[in-house]
A and B are shown apart, each in its own frame.
Chain A
Amino acid sequence: MKQSSLFDIISPIMVGPSSSHTAGAVRLGILASNIYGATPKKVTFKLYNSYAQTGKGHGTDKGLLAGVLGFSVEDVRIKNIFDLPEAKEIQYKFEFLEDFNRHPNAVDFIFEGTQKMIVSGNSIGAGNVEITKINGFSVKLSGEYNSLVVIYKDKPGMISKISGLIQTEGVNIATLVCDRTAKGEDASMCICLDAALNYSVIEKIKKIDDMYVVRHVGKLES
């Protein structure tokens, strides 16, 4: 069992009213927009199940948008986010859906801008979150670690090339999740790291042939 920390119990400092529906929403937004990696022109938020049903009363919509705009969970401006200049810089809309194959607190972010990207995630309780899919690829990302997310063309040797470059930095890999659409087609890799990666290594990884997306996603503040 993972050791429980004092600060799981007497934090986070956050804007209310709900750790899963408000703080969790902000954290999902932060992770998703870090994965997208740029300021989007437009975001469509699809909220499912409990997120859709009780989300408005918990400020889930505000939290998601705030996260995408890079606000922290304790930013008191979240309450009035729809009126802030930051929110007027991008277009956004919310859809409220039901799909019982999805987690009770599930959300899809559909980013449009220089490129289109769909990021899906769940708020799994007590402010903890998980990103489960990027453009349909299964990933596993909780914001607990600095992580590297890569989407590339499936071919032999890719995993060792990438992990080799990480190793030159002396950074330890905590977990690694791979997925692919079919042999020889697109594949994804989600690597959780024990430390942040240097910019230069990320650039080297980007230069490997047939890389489509390479993102270093920073650890979330706890």
Chain B
Amino acid sequence: MWENWKVNMKNEINTFSDLLLICGQKNKRAYELVQEKEAFLLDTSIDEIRLKVKKSLDAMKNAIKIGLKSDEKSISKQCGDDCKKLQEGFKAHPALFGDLFEKITTYALATIEENLRMGKIVACPTAGSCAIVPAVLIAISEKFNISEDEQINALITAGLIGSIVQTKVSLAGAVAGCQAECGVASAMSAGALVQILGGKEKQIVHSAALALKNILGLTCDPVAGLVEIPCVKRNAFLAVHAVTAAELALAGIESKIPPDEVIDALTQTGQLMSPLLKECSQAGLAKTKTALKIEQKIFNR
């Protein structure tokens, strides 16, 4: 099998169309190809690779568990108690979209708030967007009793989507805005969700494209330069956003613009985005009157 990969190094999975082609040719699922490739690259076994993925999965679950119970504020004291508020809110008024919606949004806030109080999280793909994939993946898995093996498969699929985007654009707010962080995390989550719900590779790829198309142009303008405002709530929003993309794709709806071209559009949008809106907090939300006041309060400037 490793030999196969050597022969096929030309067939690297760098695009969504490569992926669909190779899956078709080899009659394999995306996650199977990825775990074989990783085992080859890291010179280890598939079991070892899956164990490493499980470590990330377990760390995600842990962050949710701890985060749900905490309302400790972040270093800046600006954030940290939204998860608690949301849980109390749902007790008073159950979510319109039901318990799954409650799980996804509270898990997202639990994780991202753990992140900003210096708790242990998994950068997925980044720390600022760390809550989207776990919220979707773990909420669904709990709701439908998904086996750990399938959760690992789904997390591998999510990672594959991120790495395909990354071959064209660096997943950093400073390079391409938040579309490349929370946006990509949302696309990753959509793909994972489609896989868990029984969708095929083509639907996985289209769910990612649909999610990405809808967040093109999302800027990165964090208040006071901290991964807090708007990042915390954005993680909850984009977790839910992933569900919409997955539902559409599962119904057979496709992105009219092919998925690889959507990545091209994201890359170009990132290049054209003003540098002032790429993580340096020189415009947008970060330069509002209130943001400046908050900044002054935090740093005593």
Contact of B120 among A5, A57, A76 (CB under 8 A): A76
Q: Are A125 and B158 in contact (CB under 8 A)?
A: no
State the CA gap A30–B184 with chains docked (Å): 30
State the CA gap A3–B34 with chains docked (Å): 12
Q: Are A6 and B38 in contact (CB under 8 A)?
A: yes
Q: Are B226 and A13 in contact (CB under 8 A)?
A: no
A70 at interface by CB-CB < 8 Å: no
State the CA gap A109–B29 with chains docked (Å): 48
The interface-forming segment of B15-23, B168-176, B239-247, B255-263 is: B168-176
In B82-130, which residues have CB < 8 Å from any A CB?
114-128, 130
Q: Are A13 and B56 in contact (CB under 8 A)?
A: yes
State the CA gap A104–B299 with chains docked (Å): 18
State the CA gap A78–B133 with chains docked (Å): 25
- Whether A15 touches B163, Cβ cut-off 8 Å, given contacts A5-B41, A9-B188, A58-B226, is no
- Whether A6 touches B160, Cβ cut-off 8 Å, given contacts A56-B299, A76-B120, is yes
B146 at interface by CB-CB < 8 Å: no
Contact of A14 among B55, B127, B228 (CB under 8 A): B127
Q: Are B163 and A127 in contact (CB under 8 A)?
A: no
State the CA gap A11–B82 with chains docked (Å): 25
Q: Are A126 and B225 in contact (CB under 8 A)?
A: no
What class of interface size applies to chain B in its complex with A? 35 or more
- Whether A17 touches B118, Cβ cut-off 8 Å, given contacts A23-B123, A126-B126, is yes
What's the nearest-Cβ distance from chain A to residue B36, in Å? 11
When distances are taken between beta carbons in the complex, the residues of chain B under 8 Å from A34 are none
A39 at interface by CB-CB < 8 Å: no
State the CA gap A13–B122 with chains docked (Å): 4
Interface size of A by Cβ–Cβ distance < 8 Å?
A: 35
Q: Are A17 and B226 in contact (CB under 8 A)?
A: yes
When distances are taken between beta carbons in the complex, the residues of chain A under 8 Å from B171 are 9, 126
When distances are taken between beta carbons in the complex, the residues of chain A under 8 Å from B46 are none
B292 at interface by CB-CB < 8 Å: no
In A1-28, which residues have CB < 8 Å from any B CB?
1, 3-19, 22-23
A210 at interface by CB-CB < 8 Å: no
When distances are taken between beta carbons in the complex, the residues of chain A under 8 Å from B114 are 16
A54 at interface by CB-CB < 8 Å: yes
Contact of B224 among A1, A54, A62, A125 (CB under 8 A): A54
What's the nearest-Cβ distance from chain A to residue B234, in Å? 14
What's the nearest-Cβ distance from chain A to residue B278, in Å? 12
A59 at interface by CB-CB < 8 Å: yes
Q: Are A6 and B156 in contact (CB under 8 A)?
A: yes
B148 at interface by CB-CB < 8 Å: no
Q: Are A125 and B172 in contact (CB under 8 A)?
A: yes
When distances are taken between beta carbons in the complex, the residues of chain A under 8 Å from B34 are 6
* A-B residue pairs in contact (CB < 8 Å), sample of 16: A1-B167, A4-B166, A5-B38, A8-B162, A10-B124, A10-B156, A11-B55, A13-B120, A14-B127, A16-B116, A16-B121, A17-B118, A53-B299, A59-B75, A76-B118, A79-B117
Given contacts A18-B128, A126-B172, 15 further A-B contacts (CB under 8 A): A4-B163, A5-B163, A6-B53, A8-B166, A9-B159, A10-B133, A12-B123, A17-B75, A18-B127, A18-B227, A19-B127, A50-B225, A54-B281, A57-B225, A58-B226
